[in-house]
Amino acid sequence: MKLIANNWKDYECIDCGNGEKLERWKNVILRRPDPQVIWPVDTSNSMWRKVDAHYHRSKSGGGHWEFIKKVPEHWTISYKELTFKVSPTGFKHTGLFPEQAANWDYMMDTIRNSGRDDIRVLNLFAYTGGATLACASAGASEVVHVDASKGMVNWAKENMQLSHLTDKKIRFIVEDCVKFVKREARRGRTYHAIIMDPPSYGRGPNGEMWKIEEQLYPLISACLDILDKDALFFLVNSYTTGLGATVLENVLHLTVKKQQGQGQVTCGEIGLPITYTNQVLPCGIYGRWEAK
């Protein structure tokens, strides 16, 4: 099943072509690389000549921003009741992956429609907190936000304040996700929902190595020790090239579905609508188990 994040007002994927995407972040137009865009650009679209900033990738790795117009160091955009700080970073990202709004909608709807007031959520590789804030806003009794980057966790705290969610029970933890899960298991802690958005490669705060092909299955298996018997959902998101949705489907069947003994597994692509062509920009895959 394909999920499309089509409820944005402050964000828009205007057009794509020649390995780049043209985006509107509120009133700022950015042009950024995207390796999925292998089709040519339509040169008749004049919006390509009206960008505020353009990220140029270097042949030797990395890249830099060219600011055609004066762009704020950071600004905010909103999605429904949530507000996020966005900023053009040196590694082309802006601090937010807008396609994840499709997953946020699912999480918020599931929590709100559960009829339960005690829902503990664990968000691993939690970045700047989009899923964390979505779950807290929807009424989760506690959200634990874990990421190895102190800078990203601090950014998530800013987003919590911008979204007026400081009264919610959110625990921010800077730690290697694998170590945290194992420690929670020793403590006997359980969660009703587990979310993870692991990178292809990464390092923990103490140099711990992460490689998704080798460690995703063991991590999901370890999470079974902290997944409550009355769980609501388990959601995995991935941007790793070559990792298909069927891989997530197989893994979730062999782990979460097998343990829980019921529920259903749904997997597929996640994407953004392209305004100019009325097509969809693929933005990775998702896999989820949900109690039914």
| Whole-number Å distance between alpha carbons of 86 and 5 | 18
Segment 200-214 shows an average pLDDT of 79
pTM of the model: 0.95
**Cα→Cα distances 46→34, 37, 80, 180, Å:** 20, 19, 30, 49
Alpha carbon of 39 to those of 36, 110, 219, 278, 281: distances in Å? Answer: 9, 37, 36, 14, 11
Q: Where in the chain is the domain with CATH 3.40.50.150?
A: 95-290
Region 173-202 average pLDDT: 95
Chain-centre distance of CA 56, in angstroms?
24
Q: How confident is the model at residue 65 (pLDDT cuts 50, 70, 90)?
A: very high
CA-based angle 23:277:107, to the nearest 5? 60
- Could you tell me what percent of the chain has a pLDDT over 70? 100
> Can you name the CATH fold of 7-80?
Immunoglobulin-like (2.60.40)
CA distances for 144 relative to 132, 164, 268, 274, angstroms = 8, 17, 26, 34
Domain with CATH 2.60.40.1180 in the chain: 7-80
Q: Which CATH class is domain 95-290?
A: alpha beta
Amino acid at 22: L
The DSSP bridge pattern shows strands 120-124 and 193-196 to be parallel
User: Residue for token digits 């990395």?
Assistant: 62
